[in-house]
Amino acid sequence: MKVGIIGSGYVGLVAAACFAEMGNKVICVDVDENKIKSLKEGKVPIYEPGIEQLVLDNQKKGTLHFTTNIKDALDEVKVVFIAVGTPMGDDGSADLKFVLQVAKDIGNQMSHHLVVVDKSTVPVGTADLVEETIQNALSQRNSNLTFDVVSNPEFLKEGAAIDDFMRPDRVVVGASNEDSMSLMKELYDPFTFNQDRFIGMDIRSAEMTKYAANAMLATKISFINEMANICEHVGADINEVRIGIGSDKRIGYQFIYPGCGYGGSCFPKDVKALVNIAEGSGYTPQLIKSVEKVNSDQKNILFKKLVSRFGADLKGKTFAVWGLSFKPGTDDMREAPSINLIKSILSAGGKVNAYDPKATEQAKYYLQDLEVHYCSDKYEAIQNTEAVVLVTEWKEFRSPDFEKMKELMNQNILIDGRNQFSEEQINKHGFEYFQIGVK
């Protein structure tokens, strides 16, 4: 099938590469000329395991093309995906200006019947706005061309996006007629041999499903962090409590790991957007608002532990920060807890040595104008420091050389923002150890 993808960001590029890998002819368009030039040269602007090779392979096979001309992406295709950004507005709502601009461009440039798919994460009712925008553009052309708008939210985990797309837990599609639904089933057939994984529904329910899924996962994270904070106050150990509740099949172990808060491009933005959607419809989502508040507070938990150990004045002290991205497996710094920690240390007069296997360049952008010393490896980062704070649980931090650490650090203090180490492991090497949810 010939497929158009408008937007070559994280979602668009992954979708384009994976559809092309299954033999479809895909053309991906973006207004950023430098980005398209780099992609044509095989230079992928994001870090995501496996994406670069897929892009290179499918360009060589001729199944994946890149352009800045939206008309090229619309010619002869049956289906076109809108996969542009929906940044968070000042009021927490999703900003649809890019989505609606693309819709207008589609209306101005389309030359035959199209199925237009909202792949971007958009509020409930966006499909109606997209339909209205395209129709207005067609009317101004005095065109009687037809089109259908479909919702197909993405459920990709950064760091595992290729696998998620190729072997999805589910493919959710919202459509208003059987023809559009059948076309989407055909497109996704190679990814859903088990047809139970293709879930068809009405458009508004599909739009809502994305927000409900992310809100549920964010709720589990904030819940376990709330439990961790209670554990610290009452003298319980959240690591043991987690095992106790996770063994219940109704609860499970996924997303109940205590830590320093969630970040990234999805959970923070989508939780706030869902609050805005609910309040805009006249309902106050008390639980979801609490989820956001707990997470916002949790991002300060590591700095609070530093202050409890070293005092509020950190002048003359240097601290190592291990891990900068919001999670391992990505270079994404959006809403990363490391940002809160580093800014707080610097504001208190301290200095920061920072190391991340992949996110250093992104960190320099998000922490620009701040005096952060970026290091080339984890041991360089801890030289002459008072403590090391583990923020992101990259694999290379799991089994460090503790004896080497003792030689390099001024004090043997480890603050673990992801509860990665066992107390036995730490005590064996004589480190003073602070965890989340353990007094």
The angle at the Cα of 113, spanning 107 to 115, to the nearest 5 degrees, equals: 80
Which pLDDT score is estimated for 76?
Answer: 85
Supply 146's token pair: 């037809």
CA–CA dist 319, 314 (Å, integer):
10
Which pLDDT score is estimated for 195?
Answer: 66
Residue at token pair 């237009």:
116
The angle at the Cα of 151, spanning 143 to 195, to the nearest 5 degrees, equals: 125
Phi, psi (degrees; rounded to nearest 5) at 280: -65, -20
CB 173 within 8 A of CB 151: yes
Supply 130's token pair: 């997209």
Which pLDDT score is estimated for 196?
Answer: 76
Rounded to a whole number of angstroms, the CA Rg of the chain reads 24
Supply 143's token pair: 């065109």
The angle at the Cα of 81, spanning 77 to 83, to the nearest 5 degrees, equals: 145
HSE value, Cβ hemisphere, 13 Å, CA-based, for 192: 18
Helix (H) or strand (E) holding 114: strand 114-118
Which of 379, 378, 310 minimizes the C-alpha distance to 344?
A: 310
Which of 148, 127, 209, 157 minimizes the C-alpha distance to 14?
A: 157
3-state helix, strand, coil in the chain (%, to 5): 45, 15, 40
Strand ranges in 131-193 using DSSP code E only, listed in sequence order: 147-151, 171-174
Supply 1's token pair: 């099938």
Helix (H) or strand (E) holding 206: helix 203-234
CB 70 within 8 A of CB 105: yes
Which of 12, 115, 121 minimizes the C-alpha distance to 67?
A: 12
The angle at the Cα of 194, spanning 189 to 197, to the nearest 5 degrees, equals: 85
Catalytic residues: 266
Beta bridge partners of 174: 151, 201
What is the block-wise mean pLDDT of the chain (439 residues), using blocks of 10 residues?
A: 96 98 97 95 91 96 96 92 91 91 97 97 95 98 97 95 96 97 97 85 97 97 98 96 97 96 94 95 98 98 98 98 97 97 98 98 97 98 98 96 97 96 87 94
Which pLDDT score is estimated for 82?
Answer: 98
CB 219 within 8 A of CB 291: yes
Which pLDDT score is estimated for 73?
Answer: 86
Q: What is each CA distance from 328 to 7, 48, 239, in whole angstroms?
A: 25, 11, 20
Which pLDDT score is estimated for 88?
Answer: 85
CA–CA dist 84, 362 (Å, integer):
20
CA–CA dist 330, 42 (Å, integer):
19
Supply 383's token pair: 């030289």
Which of 96, 330, 73 minimizes the C-alpha distance to 207?
A: 96
